[in-house]
Chains A and B, each alone.
Chain A
Amino acid sequence: MTDSILFQAFVYLAIAVVFVPIAKRAGLGAVLGYLIGGVAIGPSVLGVVGTEGHQVMHFAEFGVVMMLFLVGLELRPALLWEMRRPILGLGGLQVAISAGVVAGAAMLLGIGWKPAIAVGLTFAMSSTAIVLSSLAERNLLKTSGGQAAFSVLLMQDISVIPILAVFPLLGVHVATEIIDVTSEAGRPAWVSALLLVGAMVGVVAIGRFVVRPVFQFLAGVKLRESFTAAALLIVIGIALLMQQVGLSPALGTFLAGVVLADSEYRHELESDIEPFKGLLLGLFFISVGAQIDFPLFGHQPLTILGVVAGTMALKLLVLVALGRAFNLDRPARWLLAFSLAQIGEFAFVLVSFGVQEKIFEPAFASMLVAAVAISMVLTPPAFIVLERYVMPRVTERAEQRPHDVIEHADTPVVIAGYGRYGQIVGRLLRANRIPVTILDLDPEMVDVLGRLGVKVYYGDASRVDLLHAAGCERAKLFVLAVDNKDEATKIAEAVRHNFPHLTILARAYDRPHYWELRALGVHKVYRETFGSAHETAIESLKQLGYRAHTAHRLARRWRLHDEQVIEELGAIYASDRTGYWERTRLAMDEAERLMREEDPNVYEQGDSGWDNESLRADNEVDAAASTTQPS
């Protein structure tokens, strides 16, 4: 039974359903959840999956291909061109230097120069799958560190081609008859080169000239699944083509993605491929976890751990140094280093290729595979270490940009936090020529606004000395607009305690935060998305045919009620949970009656002045009384 496809699917899906949510809840991230799940079902623990794990992995590697296609879709050609420096420079140097350093270390350990170089090249690779998933999961892909990591990964994908070409030269003998999809066996170099260029041109041409008409045709047919099939067909077709000419399928689909990034079917493609990618990547991570050969690890734990630790440390150092050389700021540098320190899935391919080419002994190779798998499993924990221990330190050091000296601030208004929220307040006040003193903790924001001629002081608004310097004694109003709720609470405490005369207007993240701030004595609290949501609701009523003026009046009435209710709920939220829910339910009913004006008790902002129903009733009585003569 364990051999059936259904059973296999059941096991893998069960992991996705059981382990992943638990890991996510525990703050470990989905990737680690898959890996742990893989270890659990692997041969060493439960033994639910056996040797077929390799095949599954081979299949699941297609998730990486899909992921790169999706990444390509996000990346317009112009954007890619802008990234040429980090891709070629940072990425190229990373591959070369990491390979060199690791190879050097291997030689120092007494390995021959040929296998040492092969090990270096193999270990220079990082895991596109784990890194991109982990970065995306944490919303770090768009940061400068995330972009740098992506550039390096892209360059690694590209360099797999020359590396595969170099490997045969490192072997004991040059093997030509090995049939491997990734080798260019039997073709003269110029034919391969021609094929390569031809394939690239072909991909671009397909993206430009074939996909659109095909999709247009399919759109006319209006069959959802044919769209999905076409999207998969594109990805798989390009992957096959790339394999034929000896290019990395991931790279080929990435290129196709970039070409299609401008097309109107981009979102269609994205939503079609996305679920496949997610499942296949999950499958891939599970099979990595299942691959860890614990008995082997038990034989030589120190060697393997040493190899893993040594490699990761060397790669980390190289990456930090490169980050510095390429002017990345400290947090970005460390993000780059921690995310790319592991050895990637390409290493599995390269190691088995190395065995074929007789570069590695089989025993040596399985030790390498174990090291690769363990280093991959260590990546999510590395992210956790980075977040909990490294980032606070490096950002703190970044914060050692000395707090700006505020010279003679004497404005009626102090604004803490000058992001999307504070800027609206500040711009409106400044437009009215009201001088404001602005504090912000984001050095980039401070610099950008400085270039626009807005003086923003860099500094932590919860520090009393800074509040003094900002002129809080003489100010009338303190606008608390920072986006971090804990930070906001801290600042509110400091201001209330040290400058009780100041009126505080504060931005709240949500209801509990609202009540927290109110409890501290903040005078007026605004839920940060309330205003725009309220406007959306007004427009929704209008779109549904309500008169504009009526929509505004109803919304205002609703808002006043809601603002009153939130104050009432705040009084019982902490102490009386049942009462809280009861009151919340009651408030919903109230609001509904309020809209229909059925309940005189909740009738707040009536417009009965415009209502002539009662007048009409009066009038009918009058009319009846006056018409005494028969009509």
Chain B
Amino acid sequence: MEAPTGAAVQALTRDLRRRSHVILMRRVLVQFAHPVFERSRVQRRLLDAIRGMEHLTIRDLYEEYPTLAIDVRREQLLLLEHDVIVFQHPFYWYSAPAILKEWQDLVLEHGWAYGKGGTKLRGKITLNVISTGGPESAYQRSGYNRYTIRELLAPWDQTAHLCGMRYLAPFTVHAALRVTGDIEVIPSQREYRRLIEALRDERIDLERAAAVDNLASELDHVLAPREVA
């Protein structure tokens, strides 16, 4: 008997998952980065919304690595143990806080994540969960930021692509500055939790999720109806 090929195994697993998604859920890793979390309003609420969920690992990178000295082997091991990698962070200067760049530079090694033999992340799903100061209208050709969020996230998109990962549309909370300390719950909290649940339980249409602009506002559009057993 021939050993099953990689593709065959993947297809088999996919099939199995579809049949019994409760048992075979995707494991989700949230790589969270906020240098002054104490002052955070939106990011804190988003994180609160998903804390304690099953099959979810949240890692607070600035807390893990206060001096930015990243433990590369440990990070790689965590990536291997998860199927969905979420980068959650404020959208500083059209990108992420410094520790995430450091993380990318060191963890996504040649021969491991990309290049010859670099297949370890292949097939995993990844996306950014970000908060911006400006309103959505600012991220338009005509707006003062001139580019759309998706355009500005091009380096993340291409990084995922080079590593053979599926890059989904971002979950963007706009106008985070308008959120004051007094508001107890923001609408994005519920949406974020639904997104993570859908990713975990494989109830999301990945094709559509990769194509839309913002998962925060278009979540209903990409959710696959729950299959009846």
Chain B proximity mask over A541-569: 1 for CB below 8 Å, otherwise 0: 00000011111100000000000000000
Is A615 an interface residue, CB under 8 A from the partner?
A: yes
Is A610 an interface residue, CB under 8 A from the partner?
A: yes
| Contact yes or no, B63 A548, CB < 8 A | yes
| Contact yes or no, A612 B177, CB < 8 A | yes
- Complex Cα spacing A288 to B177, Å: 80
Residue of A552, A616, A623 near B67 (CB, 8 A) is A552
Is A407 an interface residue, CB under 8 A from the partner?
A: no
Choose among A549, A551, A552 the residue with the greatest number of B CB atoms under 10 Å from its CB: A549
Q: How many A-B residue pairs have C-beta atoms within 8 angstroms? Tell me.
A: 38
| Contact yes or no, B133 A610, CB < 8 A | no
A607-B35, A610-B36, A612-B133 known; A549-B177 Cβ under 8 A = no
- Complex Cα spacing A612 to B38, Å: 13
SS class, residues of chain A in contact with chain B: helix
Chain A proximity mask over B35-79: 1 for CB below 8 Å, otherwise 0: 111110000000000000000000000111011000000000000
A615-B177, A619-B177, A619-B178 known; A549-B39 Cβ under 8 A = no
Residue of A552, A607, A611 near B66 (CB, 8 A) is A552
| Contact yes or no, B66 A549, CB < 8 A | yes
A610-B35, A611-B39 known; A548-B178 Cβ under 8 A = no
Interface footprint category on A = 10 to 19
- Complex Cα spacing A612 to B175, Å: 12
B181-220 residues at the A interface, CB under 8 angstroms: none
| Contact yes or no, A611 B178, CB < 8 A | no
Q: How far is the CB of B215 from chain A (nearest CB, A)?
A: 24
| Contact yes or no, A616 B177, CB < 8 A | yes
Chain A proximity mask over B79-123: 1 for CB below 8 Å, otherwise 0: 000000000000010000000000000000000000000000000
- Complex Cα spacing A549 to B92, Å: 17
| Contact yes or no, B177 A547, CB < 8 A | no
Q: How far is the CB of B174 from chain A (nearest CB, A)?
A: 12
- Complex Cα spacing A552 to B63, Å: 10
Q: How far is the CB of B137 from chain A (nearest CB, A)?
A: 10
Residue of A549, A607, A615 near B133 (CB, 8 A) is A615
Contacts of A550 in B (CB 8 A): 36, 38
Select from chain A the residue with minimum beta-carbon distance to B134: A619
Chain A proximity mask over B17-48: 1 for CB below 8 Å, otherwise 0: 00000000000000000011111000000000
Given contacts A548-B66, A610-B35, list 20 more A-B pairs with CB under 8 A. A547-B37, A547-B62, A548-B62, A548-B63, A548-B64, A549-B62, A551-B66, A552-B66, A607-B35, A607-B36, A610-B36, A610-B39, A611-B39, A612-B39, A612-B133, A615-B177, A619-B133, A619-B175, A619-B177, A619-B178
Enumerate chain B interface residues (CB-CB to A < 8 A): 35-39, 62-64, 66-67, 92, 133, 175, 177-178
